[in-house]
Chain A
């Protein structure tokens, strides 16, 4: 205790707290330790158990590493899913470009452009997706460009047929009348154009696939078939 001349100190010194070593203290400490360790194994004390596990540096370190890896895995899975969705979108867009029947509203995203820019963009994606060589790319681009006028002509015919169908529908609504002979001719013509469109698209797909290695071909046909809403194309 303090020996300073301050009169407060002698007064404080009167408070002696003689302490005898407790004979039970050691046993009590070990009892608490045992109790704490057994609580880890008790099913009811799972919170304490988890706490006790996390107090172990090795376990805590492994838990942190595990969480970090799980996080990375989740991020990777999410990126892969996004990439798949993006690829599917591009595949649908490509199919719209080569199939006149998909021109209007069948696939989300509006009517495709058949211009050289759109073709260039889609083929660039195909090239990176399938790892095409320069020669393959040049040949496939050539095939697409060659079929482009035919596809445009078919697309124009499809447009005309759609307009004609709208005309039939208007007449039916307004005049409550249908010229069945004319409509039968329309249906026949429409079937013929549909057949031509399908044939044209199939031919282009098969010709393009013919320029690819077996692996690339399988991938390419898989992409095209997955994007085809009517499952008409080869796979």
Chain B
């Protein structure tokens, strides 16, 4: 299990310091190889987080994030100094995820991560129970796992545009403006997409919403 400090670090939103991005980008365009490593270091976490949620497969997510950085390298001389790196990276990654998702839907495989099942010893590697005294009981853990699976499933069932919007807004905390640039629509369009996404999620998760109200 990860410590709370590790967990909170892992959940940090996208880097907001654009001046730092610009500095890295300029160094990158001067073919300083350390600059790419710096950008990878800086951006891999939000990108992996987004792709992980979109694809629900960490190996695929890592693969596409690596491809995004490789493309950033290939296009480095075409980027303008005022390019918003977050928008460029998320746009590229979003497109790669969309293509990959469509390819997967035509070539279905069974993910070992998505359906964690109990092993012969009775324990589940994905759902390892903590041994600490203050850990939630089995009922609470089971309920949490069920609702989590439902959330994953409901988000995954959203159409691409709505899924991207909800992931970028709710989990990556991007502004409407940034999402509009990535999704290629207006800020008003982002608002509409978000409302539609939430409506569909409420519909798909209504059973769990009632439970959370009771809680």
- Least CB separation from B211: chain A residue: A11
- Asked if B37 lies at the interface with its beta carbon under 8 angstroms from chain A, I say yes
Cβ-defined partner of A11 (8 Å) among B40, B53, B73, B205:
B205
Tally B residues with Cβ within 8 Å of A.
45
How far is A233 from B46 in the complex, measured between Cα atoms in Å? 89
B152 touches A15 (CB 8 A): yes
A22 touches B62 (CB 8 A): yes
B73 touches A9 (CB 8 A): no
Stretch of B5-13, B97-105, B129-137, B184-192 at the chain-chain interface: B5-13
Interface of B is mostly: helix
Stretch of B18-26, B118-126, B143-151 at the chain-chain interface: B143-151
- Asked if B209 lies at the interface with its beta carbon under 8 angstroms from chain A, I say yes
Which residues 9-49 in A have Cβ within 8 Å of B in the complex? 9-12, 14-22, 24-26, 28-30, 32-33, 36
Contacts of B73 in A (CB 8 A): 29, 33
- Asked if A215 lies at the interface with its beta carbon under 8 angstroms from chain B, I say no
B40 touches A25 (CB 8 A): yes
B65 touches A17 (CB 8 A): no
- Tell me the number of A-to-B contacts counted with CB atoms below 8 Å: 97
Shortest Cβ distance from residue B188 to the other chain A in the assembled complex, whole angstroms: 20
Q: Knowing A10-B212, A16-B7, A18-B6 touch, does A25 contact B173 (C-beta < 8 A)?
A: no
A29 touches B11 (CB 8 A): no
A1 touches B70 (CB 8 A): no
Q: Knowing A21-B45, A25-B65 touch, does A1 contact B40 (C-beta < 8 A)?
A: no
Which B residues contact A (CB, under 8 angstroms)? 2, 6-7, 10-11, 36-37, 40-41, 44-45, 48-49, 52-53, 62, 65-67, 69-70, 73-75, 77-78, 144, 147-148, 151-152, 155, 166, 169-171, 173, 198, 201-202, 205, 208-209, 212-213
Report 19 cross-chain contacts, Cβ distance below 8 Å, ordered by A residue. A1-B170, A7-B209, A8-B201, A11-B212, A17-B171, A19-B10, A19-B45, A19-B52, A21-B41, A22-B62, A25-B40, A25-B44, A25-B66, A26-B37, A29-B40, A29-B73, A30-B36, A32-B66, A36-B70
